[in-house]
Amino acid sequence: MIPTSFPPKDEIARLTARALLEVEAVHFNSREPFTLASGLPSPTYIDCRKLISFPRIRSTLMDFLAVTVMREAGFEAFDNVAGGETAGIPFGAMIAERLVLPMTYVRKKPKGYGRNARIEGVMTEGQRVLLVEDMTTDGGSKLSFVDAIRETGATCAHTGVIFSYGIFPEITKTLGDHGVQLHALCTWWDVLAEAKAQGHFDAETLAGVQEFLNDPRAWQAARKG
Protein backbone atom coordinates (compact mmCIF):
# COMPACT_ATOMS: atom_id res chain seq x y z
CA MET A 1 0.00 0.00 0.00
CA ILE A 2 1.32 3.45 -0.93
CA PRO A 3 1.37 5.76 2.12
CA THR A 4 -0.06 9.21 1.43
CA SER A 5 -0.99 10.87 4.71
CA PHE A 6 1.45 11.19 7.59
CA PRO A 7 2.64 13.71 10.21
CA PRO A 8 4.47 16.90 9.24
CA LYS A 9 8.22 16.79 8.73
CA ASP A 10 9.18 17.95 12.22
CA GLU A 11 7.04 15.27 13.87
CA ILE A 12 8.45 12.61 11.55
CA ALA A 13 11.95 13.74 12.60
CA ARG A 14 11.06 13.52 16.31
CA LEU A 15 9.47 10.08 16.00
CA THR A 16 12.38 8.76 13.93
CA ALA A 17 14.84 10.00 16.54
CA ARG A 18 12.73 8.36 19.25
CA ALA A 19 12.74 5.05 17.36
CA LEU A 20 16.52 5.13 16.92
CA LEU A 21 16.97 5.74 20.63
CA GLU A 22 14.46 3.04 21.55
CA VAL A 23 16.32 0.31 19.65
CA GLU A 24 19.65 1.57 21.01
CA ALA A 25 20.98 2.44 17.58
CA VAL A 26 22.39 5.67 19.04
CA HIS A 27 25.69 5.67 20.93
CA PHE A 28 27.17 8.71 22.69
CA ASN A 29 30.57 8.73 24.38
CA SER A 30 32.53 11.97 24.58
CA ARG A 31 35.15 10.59 26.99
CA GLU A 32 36.19 7.70 24.75
CA PRO A 33 35.25 8.80 21.21
CA PHE A 34 34.43 6.35 18.44
CA THR A 35 36.61 6.15 15.34
CA LEU A 36 34.65 6.73 12.14
CA ALA A 37 35.37 5.11 8.77
CA SER A 38 37.24 8.30 7.86
CA GLY A 39 39.64 7.66 10.75
CA LEU A 40 38.40 10.77 12.57
CA PRO A 41 37.09 10.68 16.15
CA SER A 42 33.46 11.29 17.07
CA PRO A 43 31.47 11.21 20.33
CA THR A 44 28.51 9.93 18.33
CA TYR A 45 27.85 6.70 16.47
CA ILE A 46 24.68 5.39 14.91
CA ASP A 47 23.81 1.92 13.63
CA CYS A 48 20.69 2.08 11.44
CA ARG A 49 21.17 -1.56 10.45
CA LYS A 50 19.62 -2.55 13.78
CA LEU A 51 16.26 -1.29 12.55
CA ILE A 52 15.71 -4.29 10.29
CA SER A 53 15.24 -6.47 13.40
CA PHE A 54 12.30 -4.41 14.72
CA PRO A 55 9.26 -4.97 12.44
CA ARG A 56 6.95 -2.27 13.85
CA ILE A 57 9.65 0.39 13.85
CA ARG A 58 11.10 -0.49 10.46
CA SER A 59 7.59 -0.47 8.94
CA THR A 60 6.81 2.94 10.42
CA LEU A 61 10.10 4.46 9.29
CA MET A 62 9.77 3.06 5.78
CA ASP A 63 6.29 4.59 5.56
CA PHE A 64 7.80 7.87 6.73
CA LEU A 65 10.58 7.68 4.12
CA ALA A 66 8.19 6.79 1.31
CA VAL A 67 5.86 9.68 2.06
CA THR A 68 8.79 12.09 2.57
CA VAL A 69 10.19 11.24 -0.86
CA MET A 70 6.78 11.62 -2.48
CA ARG A 71 6.14 14.95 -0.76
CA GLU A 72 9.53 16.37 -1.69
CA ALA A 73 10.22 14.78 -5.09
CA GLY A 74 6.75 13.98 -6.47
CA PHE A 75 4.27 11.14 -6.54
CA GLU A 76 5.31 9.95 -10.00
CA ALA A 77 8.98 10.90 -9.83
CA PHE A 78 10.55 7.43 -10.06
CA ASP A 79 10.60 4.27 -12.14
CA ASN A 80 13.06 2.22 -10.07
CA VAL A 81 14.41 2.05 -6.51
CA ALA A 82 18.05 1.11 -5.93
CA GLY A 83 19.50 0.12 -2.57
CA GLY A 84 23.18 0.80 -1.94
CA GLU A 85 25.32 -2.15 -0.84
CA THR A 86 24.98 -3.29 1.85
CA ALA A 87 22.94 -1.39 4.42
CA GLY A 88 20.69 0.20 1.81
CA ILE A 89 19.53 -3.08 0.27
CA PRO A 90 16.81 -4.07 2.77
CA PHE A 91 15.54 -0.50 3.02
CA GLY A 92 15.55 -0.17 -0.77
CA ALA A 93 13.45 -3.32 -1.04
CA MET A 94 10.92 -2.03 1.48
CA ILE A 95 10.63 1.37 -0.19
CA ALA A 96 10.22 -0.26 -3.62
CA GLU A 97 7.38 -2.34 -2.19
CA ARG A 98 5.64 0.74 -0.84
CA LEU A 99 6.06 2.74 -4.04
CA VAL A 100 5.10 -0.29 -6.18
CA LEU A 101 8.30 -0.01 -8.21
CA PRO A 102 11.03 -2.38 -9.45
CA MET A 103 13.90 -2.87 -7.00
CA THR A 104 17.60 -3.08 -7.81
CA TYR A 105 20.78 -2.71 -5.84
CA VAL A 106 24.16 -1.13 -6.48
CA ARG A 107 27.45 -2.78 -5.55
CA LYS A 108 30.26 -0.72 -4.05
CA LYS A 109 32.53 -2.07 -6.79
CA PRO A 110 32.25 -4.60 -9.64
CA LYS A 111 32.04 -8.12 -8.27
CA GLY A 112 35.11 -9.21 -10.25
CA TYR A 113 33.71 -12.17 -12.17
CA GLY A 114 30.85 -13.11 -14.48
CA ARG A 115 29.30 -9.95 -15.89
CA ASN A 116 31.43 -7.87 -13.50
CA ALA A 117 28.25 -5.94 -12.75
CA ARG A 118 27.66 -3.18 -10.24
CA ILE A 119 23.90 -3.08 -10.77
CA GLU A 120 21.93 -6.17 -9.77
CA GLY A 121 18.37 -6.54 -10.97
CA VAL A 122 16.89 -4.84 -14.02
CA MET A 123 17.66 -1.16 -14.58
CA THR A 124 17.10 0.29 -18.03
CA GLU A 125 18.07 3.40 -19.95
CA GLY A 126 15.91 6.41 -19.18
CA GLN A 127 14.56 5.12 -15.86
CA ARG A 128 14.41 7.65 -13.03
CA VAL A 129 16.05 5.96 -10.06
CA LEU A 130 15.71 6.69 -6.35
CA LEU A 131 18.86 5.69 -4.44
CA VAL A 132 18.05 4.44 -0.92
CA GLU A 133 20.61 4.15 1.88
CA ASP A 134 20.43 3.87 5.64
CA MET A 135 22.32 7.08 6.36
CA THR A 136 24.78 9.70 5.15
CA THR A 137 27.49 11.80 6.77
CA ASP A 138 28.79 14.35 4.23
CA GLY A 139 27.21 12.83 1.12
CA GLY A 140 30.45 11.74 -0.52
CA SER A 141 29.81 8.01 -0.34
CA LYS A 142 26.63 8.39 -2.40
CA LEU A 143 28.41 9.71 -5.48
CA SER A 144 29.90 6.39 -6.57
CA PHE A 145 26.47 4.73 -6.38
CA VAL A 146 24.91 7.57 -8.36
CA ASP A 147 27.60 7.31 -11.04
CA ALA A 148 27.07 3.53 -11.35
CA ILE A 149 23.34 4.09 -11.83
CA ARG A 150 23.93 6.76 -14.47
CA GLU A 151 26.33 4.51 -16.38
CA THR A 152 23.32 2.32 -17.27
CA GLY A 153 21.68 5.27 -19.02
CA ALA A 154 19.25 5.77 -16.15
CA THR A 155 19.04 9.01 -14.18
CA CYS A 156 19.47 9.51 -10.45
CA ALA A 157 18.60 12.90 -8.99
CA HIS A 158 17.38 11.86 -5.53
CA THR A 159 18.61 9.83 -2.58
CA GLY A 160 16.54 8.91 0.46
CA VAL A 161 18.01 8.02 3.86
CA ILE A 162 16.70 7.41 7.34
CA PHE A 163 19.42 9.47 8.98
CA SER A 164 21.68 12.34 7.93
CA TYR A 165 24.34 13.78 10.24
CA GLY A 166 23.03 17.28 9.51
CA ILE A 167 26.20 18.94 10.82
CA PHE A 168 28.38 19.14 7.72
CA PRO A 169 27.21 22.07 5.57
CA GLU A 170 29.16 20.84 2.56
CA ILE A 171 26.72 17.97 2.05
CA THR A 172 24.28 20.18 0.14
CA LYS A 173 27.04 21.34 -2.22
CA THR A 174 28.59 17.88 -2.57
CA LEU A 175 25.31 16.30 -3.64
CA GLY A 176 23.98 19.40 -5.39
CA ASP A 177 27.06 19.71 -7.61
CA HIS A 178 26.36 16.11 -8.62
CA GLY A 179 22.72 16.88 -9.37
CA VAL A 180 21.35 14.96 -6.38
CA GLN A 181 18.81 16.04 -3.76
CA LEU A 182 18.88 14.47 -0.29
CA HIS A 183 15.73 13.37 1.55
CA ALA A 184 16.32 12.42 5.21
CA LEU A 185 14.03 11.67 8.12
CA CYS A 186 16.16 13.08 10.93
CA THR A 187 19.59 14.39 11.95
CA TRP A 188 21.82 14.42 15.02
CA TRP A 189 20.08 17.60 16.16
CA ASP A 190 16.75 15.75 16.24
CA VAL A 191 18.31 12.83 18.10
CA LEU A 192 19.97 15.13 20.64
CA ALA A 193 16.69 16.98 21.29
CA GLU A 194 14.78 13.73 21.77
CA ALA A 195 17.53 12.27 23.96
CA LYS A 196 17.22 15.29 26.24
CA ALA A 197 13.41 15.10 26.25
CA GLN A 198 13.36 11.38 27.02
CA GLY A 199 16.15 11.48 29.60
CA HIS A 200 18.59 9.35 27.65
CA PHE A 201 22.25 9.72 28.69
CA ASP A 202 23.63 11.93 31.44
CA ALA A 203 24.00 15.72 31.28
CA GLU A 204 27.78 15.61 30.82
CA THR A 205 27.51 13.24 27.86
CA LEU A 206 24.80 15.33 26.21
CA ALA A 207 26.85 18.50 26.71
CA GLY A 208 29.85 16.84 25.08
CA VAL A 209 27.76 15.74 22.11
CA GLN A 210 26.35 19.24 21.70
CA GLU A 211 29.86 20.70 21.69
CA PHE A 212 30.75 18.33 18.86
CA LEU A 213 27.61 19.14 16.87
CA ASN A 214 28.20 22.88 17.15
CA ASP A 215 31.64 22.62 15.49
CA PRO A 216 32.49 19.03 14.48
CA ARG A 217 35.62 19.83 12.49
CA ALA A 218 37.21 21.78 15.34
CA TRP A 219 36.22 19.05 17.83
CA GLN A 220 37.83 16.38 15.66
CA ALA A 221 40.95 18.44 14.93
CA ALA A 222 41.53 18.90 18.66
CA ARG A 223 41.38 15.16 19.32
CA LYS A 224 42.73 13.31 16.30
CA GLY A 225 46.05 11.52 16.58
- Annotated ligand binding at 205? The verdict is no
- Annotated ligand binding at 202? The verdict is no
The Cα 80–Cα 100 span in angstroms is 9
- Annotated ligand binding at 190? The verdict is no
Q: Measure the CA angle with vertex 90, ends 89 and 94; round to 5°.
A: 115
- Annotated ligand binding at 4? The verdict is no
The Cα 18–Cα 56 span in angstroms is 13
- Annotated ligand binding at 103? The verdict is no
- Annotated ligand binding at 141? The verdict is yes
- Annotated ligand binding at 92? The verdict is no
- Annotated ligand binding at 104? The verdict is no
Question: CB–CB of 127/108 below 8 Å?
Answer: no
**% helix, strand, coil for the chain, step of 5:** 45, 20, 35
- Annotated ligand binding at 135? The verdict is yes
Q: Please, how many CA atoms are within 13 Å of residue 134, restricted to the half-sphere of its CB? A: 16
- Annotated ligand binding at 70? The verdict is no
Burial of 207 (0-12, 13-18, 19+ CB in 10 A): exposed
C-alpha pair distances (Å), 142 with each of 17, 53, 109, 178:
22, 25, 13, 10
- Annotated ligand binding at 107? The verdict is yes
- Annotated ligand binding at 50? The verdict is no
Binding residues: 107-108, 111, 133-141
Binding residues for orotate: 137
Binding residues for 5-phospho-alpha-D-ribose 1-diphosphate: 107-108, 111, 133-141
